[in-house]
Amino acid sequence: MGRRDTLGVTMDEMVHHTRMVSCAATNSLVVADLPFLSYQVTPEDALRNAGRLVAEAGAGAVKLEGPASKFGDSIAAILRAGIPVMGHIGLTPQSIKQFGGFKVQGRDPENRARLREEARGLEQAGCFAIVLECMPADLAAEITGDLGIPTIGIGAGSACDGQVLVLHDILGWGATRFAKTFGDVRALMRDACTSYIDEVKSGKFPAEEHTYK
């Protein structure tokens, strides 16, 4: 959407986008992100907003960022309503102001220990899976080995139980270290638009076969 980070995303926008995904999904679990300040203030807010993502948008589960030591009450409230919760630790995009930017997490012993403890805490709080983002691969492997629930890696190495990437990175729009371009759609779109502009300017398009009689 042209923004530099995720902090300005609203609940209404998440409901709108999640609904589109849910309508198209036929054999997938749709997990919707709870945006900034939708669950951090009170457990009641967390439950209400998680409920919107399920009831209005058709999500099968919700995801929230941060440890159970901070948001355990919100996780519990959501779970009591029968909504599955996925956790998210490491580089949590809603905390980039605190981190000072998009930086790898867990490189020093203190933060490695903290992230391992956060992962165990989220499992104990009832999360059915945890996203591990932007951390050393060996740390992600240790966390995966610690837990009885699946880990989903993004920039966290190959030892996680599953992987996720942003679609735009897969298609060539992104430039992050951990993203691989599987198809350069960006170049294809650029070339197609350039050709369109050139043919319009030269009068080659629209030709007779592109017009009605």
User: Which of the following is catalytic: 65, 118, 123, 133?
Assistant: 133
pTM of the model: 0.89
Model confidence over 17-50: pLDDT tens digits?
999 999 999 999 999 999 999 999 999 999 999 9
Count CA atoms closer than 13 A to 145's CA, side-chain side: 8
User: What average pLDDT does this structure show over 77-106?
Assistant: 94
Q: Which of 97, 94, 1 is nearest to 39 (CA)?
A: 94
Q: Which domains does the chain have, with CATH numbers?
A: 11-164 (3.20.20.60), 172-213 (no CATH)
Q: How far apart are CA 75 and CA 177, in angstroms?
A: 32
133 is catalytic: yes
